Amino acid sequence: MRNDDLLAALDAGMNSADAARAFGISRQRVSKIWHCARGDARLPSRVRAVGARSVVRQVSISASGCWEWARSRAPNGYGRLKIGTRTVYAHRAAWTLHFGPIPPGLFVCHRCDNPPCVRPDHLFLGTSADNVRDSIEKGRWGHRRPPRLHCGRGHERIAANLQPNGQCRPCNQAAVLRYAARRRERAHA
């Protein structure tokens, strides 16, 4: 059996039970092959068929205009739902239903900064850096502490001043010079 043949059969409309029988494997294996091949980019056909109507029934509309996921939520506040054996974030499922696959390496970010929101026009695709930049611009980055713009000795934390490990280059150079001076003093004493 080739996975390509199984995927072609599923894409042609064969359900997972029939595919499992036809290819002599379990339904769980069919699901695993399908999800591994598609990643998080596509949702099972039974969910795609119901589409937005299913999502709309699971939301409540807040005063801010957000469509908040009214079902299960993760501890971080994001809505979540089960699709087959997988748990996915509701905002990612909403994006996929409305706009199509999520390209690898991109995240579904919220314009409204409301984790349970699944309203399509409140969502946008971006990289991790885009999400952090958006967070900083809106003043909600590092809610535990503000981002460090300077090292402890006041040097600006810019690329030219940072070593690959994130330490301050001028501070490390000064420490090397102090260490060398101490060694010279000990050698002459």
Task: Quick: pLDDT tens for 59-84.
Answer: 778 888 888 888 888 888 898 888 77
Q: How high is the pLDDT of residue 48? A: 46
Label residues 128-163 b or e (16+ Cβ within 10 Å = b): eeebeebbeeeeeeeeeeeeeeebeeeeeeeeeeee
Confidence grade of residue 50 (pLDDT, cut at 50, 70, 90) = very low
pLDDT tens-digit profile of 89-101? 888 888 888 888 8
Task: Evaluate if pTM is beyond 0.85.
Answer: no
Confidence grade of residue 46 (pLDDT, cut at 50, 70, 90) = very low
* Residue 88, helix vs strand vs coil: strand
Q: How high is the pLDDT of residue 51? A: 47
Considering only residues 40 and 24, tell me which one the structure prediction assigns the higher pLDDT: 24
pLDDT tens-digit profile of 109-128? 998 888 899 888 899 998 88
